[in-house]
Structure 1
Amino acid sequence: MIASANNPVLVADVGGTNLNLALLAPEEGRFRLLRKARFSTQDERSLLDPIRRFLAASPALQPGRACFSAAGPVLQRCIRLTNAPWDIDGAALERELGIPVHLVNDFIALSCGVIQLDLTDPRQVTPLPHGDGSLPAADPRGLALVVGAGTGLGVGFITRTAQGTRAFPSEGGHIGLPLFDAETLALWQYLQEGLPGPPGAEMAVSGMGIGHLFRFLLDSGRVARTPETAAILALPVADQPAAISAQATANPACARTMALFVDLYARVCAELCAAFLPTGGLFLAGGIAAKNREHFLNEGRFMARFERNYRAHLDGLTRATPVYLVHDYDLSLYGAAHAPDCTS
């Protein structure tokens, strides 16, 4: 069935914290938002229950097809969620909903959304100036890299060839935790305790990572415990990252946490750039970047760490890489609607 305003596309972005649903109608090669709603992933027992409630609220808008994206690999039309207590079965959803259902990794959807961005529109992206003030232009034919910290850390990439533009997922969020000074070495040792192997980047560069960094700084005595830090630690774990970010301008422990988070984010991106060579741009996507632009931009913090490498040619690589901070938190919803066209 061809999607239209009367038979829109049903899309979902299922993260470890939030489950976002939307109905989108095609419009001149793009998609227009008709309706969206947010649910708590942790409070739901499956994807089907919130979908039924969402569609029941708009009986005149019944979808003709669906594309659902989630944090986890797609295997045999199923996604085992990496940060949630339930899984997604595409075949079962197709039977229950009576429409074609397409499943993609969440960073496939986000990458498909990045393809649609207008890089000249400041409402969509902020180019991050390099240390020398330059803003390199993205090569429209080059590979683009998408790195996004949310509940976890995701990595995707986009290729442009004569056969078309294609988006691919990766498990790059699980590369090793980068080390660059005595403090990050101490952090590595702190996070490694009790693990069967070395800690991955996601343990620090993610929403849960912000909580890990905060507790590391407190437990190691690098920042002082105060009534404010005790109040943050008393919150549910899922609520702590937002509280830490919100108090970063007033609380020294929160400020130090966010500074270390941005430093580690930058080093993860620098190491991924060495592997992917993203002349088409590095895109900082996901909820944390979109909501915390000031921490990346203030005093050029992200770029200062991103451009500091152990070899001169790597300095040249990172200094030539266009870097964009993506604003639209709903980008993955639009990307999910486009996903069947840029993954086939």
Structure 2
Amino acid sequence: MNVSKDFDSLVIAGDIGGTNTNLALVGRKTDNFELLLKRTFQTQTLPDLIEPVEIILKDINEKLPDMKPQTCCISAAGPIIENRCYLTNAELVLDGKEIERVTKLPTLIINDFTALSYALPLLDREDPAMITKIPHTDGTFPEPDGPVKIVTGAGTGFGMGLLIESEDRATAYPSEAGHLDFSAFDRETEELKDFVAKKMGFNPYVELFLSGRGIVNIYNFFTSTGKISRDFIPLEVLSAPDNEKPALIAKNASQDQGCARIIKTFVKIYGRYTGNLAILTLPYGGLYLAGGIAIKNEKFFIEDNLFMKYFEIGSKPEIHKLLKKVPVYLIRNYSASIYGAANAASFLLKNIE
């Protein structure tokens, strides 16, 4: 095995989302991972992943000729069947066998939230550049106390992963939680659900509310029904195409009441839904929020305990007490999926040594 003396193994790790495709060379030394080289591509412009993989291999050969990767692990936003992934929010198919043919490396395709799940043990909860701790409504920060962790994330879509840790290893399980039916919980969300259902022509699922597209649906609901006058929405938001609106709404939310109301509605839905996921899984090891939308709107998650007020809602006092025991963290590291894919690859590497 040809590995640089500074690392136990070298991995080509990938994070393929509906918007961006990130490929990187990651070095592992015991339980520490270092990102050595990274390239980013626009997912919607890619017919397949072969050319980006060839580009990263060329970059490694030219810039880091002594670094020879042994495995390749790529995470993707979609269900995995026989080492293939059909992306949920892009016209792209990832084929592990084809990538293996190009790289000449054992290649594993995993769900994006499986990668995020494998990233959880690597995160330093005490590093504010990596993690924001979200206080409960009473101001407390419960300590992790259990083997179960979950990670949820809103971006181009919405997903959830579950991690169960034992003494000698951690096992991640994917899900398609973004495609569960959406349940309204107050009059406003009932009206919002009816609005989206009429637009879509079917009973809407969670991802249509908790994603970039979800922010646009909330925006359209408020402006179309007159609940927010277009006079109170910045012109750059009104004139932008739908795919640009979420970032612009987040950008203007701190100084614009209309944009703030849209983001606050998104946050309260996020809080209520993840509270339901916590009731289902009891993640006393921690519930982690990932994705660019949470990072860009962190202020609204914490301000006035908005997220946590809806997270802690339970139908019974006993359930409320259980939810207050769950530590909640916001992941601020945009490269978490890359590190998680590299960590997952370390298991693959063990299997082939």
Q: TM-score range by the shorter chain?
A: over 0.9
Question: Which of residues 337, 340, 345 in structure 2 aligns to 1:335?
Answer: 340
Alignment of 1:45-64 (within 5 A): 45-59=47-61, 60=65, 61-64=67-70
**Does residue 35 of structure 1 match 2:73?**
no
Residue 274 of structure 1 deviates from its aligned partner by: 1.0
Question: What amino acid maps onto 1:171 in structure 2?
Answer: E
Aligned counterparts of 2:26 and 2:313: Cα–Cα separation in 1? 43
Alignment-derived partner of residue 242 in structure 2:
237
Alignment-derived partner of residue 101 in structure 2:
95
**Does residue 85 of structure 1 match 2:91?**
yes
Q: Which runs of 5+ in 1 are unaligned?
A: none
Alignment of 1:24-173 (within 5 A): 24-59=26-61, 60=65, 61-139=67-145, 141-161=146-166, 164-173=169-178
Kept in 1, the 8 Å contact 2:148–2:284? The answer is yes
For residue 174 of structure 2, give the secondary structure of its aligned residue in structure 1: strand
1:65–1:3 distance in 2 versus 1, CA, 3 Å = farther
1:222–1:194 distance in 2 versus 1, CA, 3 Å = closer
Aligned counterparts of 1:227 and 1:53: Cα–Cα separation in 2? 46
Kept in 1, the 8 Å contact 2:13–2:72? The answer is yes
Residue 285 of structure 1 deviates from its aligned partner by: 1.2
Kept in 1, the 8 Å contact 2:113–2:160? The answer is yes
Question: What amino acid maps onto 1:56 in structure 2?
Answer: K
Which range moved further: 2-11 or 186-195? 2-11
Deviation readout 1:96-117 (Å, 9 max, x if unpaired): 2211111110000011001211
Kept in 2, the 8 Å contact 1:190–1:216? The answer is yes
Q: Which runs of 5+ in 2 are unaligned?
A: none
Deviation readout 1:250-272 (Å, 9 max, x if unpaired): 22221111000000000110110
Kept in 2, the 8 Å contact 1:136–1:320? The answer is yes
For residue 248 of structure 2, give the secondary structure of its aligned residue in structure 1: helix
Alignment-derived partner of residue 304 in structure 1:
309
Q: TM-score, normalised by structure 2?
A: 0.91
Deviation readout 1:303-328 (Å, 9 max, x if unpaired): 11111222212211211111111111
Alignment-derived partner of residue 293 in structure 2:
288
| RMSD (Å), alpha carbons | 2.0
Q: TM-score, normalised by structure 1?
A: 0.94
Deviation readout 1:269-321 (Å, 9 max, x if unpaired): 01101110111111111222123211111111111111122221221121111
Kept in 2, the 8 Å contact 1:3–1:65? The answer is no
Deviation readout 1:106-152 (Å, 9 max, x if unpaired): 0000110012112222222111111111111111x421111111110
**Does residue 251 of structure 1 match 2:251?**
no
Kept in 1, the 8 Å contact 2:41–2:52? The answer is yes
Question: What amino acid maps onto 1:300 in structure 2?
Answer: N
Question: What amino acid maps onto 2:45 in structure 1?
Answer: D
Residue 163 of structure 1 deviates from its aligned partner by: 6.0
Aligned counterparts of 1:342 and 1:214: Cα–Cα separation in 2? 43
Residue-pair matches, total: 343
1:213–1:285 distance in 2 versus 1, CA, 3 Å = same
Question: What amino acid maps onto 2:280 in structure 1?
Answer: A
Question: What amino acid maps onto 1:116 in structure 2?
Answer: L
Kept in 1, the 8 Å contact 2:232–2:258? The answer is no
Alignment-derived partner of residue 223 in structure 1:
228
1:63–1:234 distance in 2 versus 1, CA, 3 Å = farther
1:227–1:186 distance in 2 versus 1, CA, 3 Å = closer
